[in-house]
């Protein structure tokens, strides 16, 4: 898939929905499409964060301390919190079905945020919302 073709997938992701075409092109430069069978662990709770994923097709399951948290389908994303905050993963993400994902490399993504700060500013409301959701989930 051509890098600019990733833009259609990225536009569906709340994290990137407010980006213009040029900003989407910048994000797409650090994206690679990967295809996985069901049962593939994409990230492990407590592990280091070096990437995030956007689901293109299929479904992934999010678990924390072995408990089901959510199923994520096309347009959903995972791994952004630990990547952006340079902390360890707070959950495990496993493909529930055969899945195609966009893999966003952590170093490349950090460079994007440094070089094009407007992208970070546009992502901030979504990140703030995720922090709030995660905090509320931990309180229950």
- For residue 85, pLDDT over 60 is answered with yes
Round the average pLDDT of the chain to a whole number and report it: 86
Give me the residue label for tokens 């309180």: 139
Helices and strands (DSSP H and E) totals, the chain: 5, 8
Average pLDDT on 25-54 reads 92
Which parts of 1-140 fold into alpha helices (H)?
6-11, 21-28, 80-85, 106-115, 117-139
**Superfamily of structural domain 3-15+34-134:** Jelly Rolls (2.60.120.10)
Residue 103's pLDDT band (boundaries 50, 70, 90)? Answer: very high
Model confidence pTM above 0.85: no
pLDDT, residue 56, reads 93
Q: pLDDT tens-digit profile of 108-140?
A: 888 888 888 888 888 877 777 777 776 665 555
Whether residue 119 contacts residue 19, with contact meaning beta carbons closer than 8 Å, is answered with yes
CA terminus-to-terminus distance, the chain: 42
Average pLDDT on 39-64 reads 93
Percent of the chain residues topping a pLDDT of 70: 91
């Amino acid at each position: 898939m051509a890098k600019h073709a990733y833009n259609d997938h990225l536009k569906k992701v709340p994290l990137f929905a407010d980006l213009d075409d040029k900003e989407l092109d910048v994000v797409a430069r650090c994206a690679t499409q990967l295809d996985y069978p069901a049962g593939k662990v994409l990230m492990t709770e407590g592990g280091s964060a070096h990437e995030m994923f956007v689901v293109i097709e299929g479904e992934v399951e999010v678990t924390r301390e072995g408990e089901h948290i959510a199923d994520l389908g096309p347009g959903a994303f995972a791994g952004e919190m630990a990547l952006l905050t340079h902390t360890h993963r707070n959950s495990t993400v496993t493909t529930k079905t055969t899945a195609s994902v966009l893999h966003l490399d952590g170093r490349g993504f950090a460079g994007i945020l440094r070089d094009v700060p407007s992208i970070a500013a546009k992502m901030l409301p979504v990140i703030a919302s995720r922090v709030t959701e995660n905090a509320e989930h931990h309180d229950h």
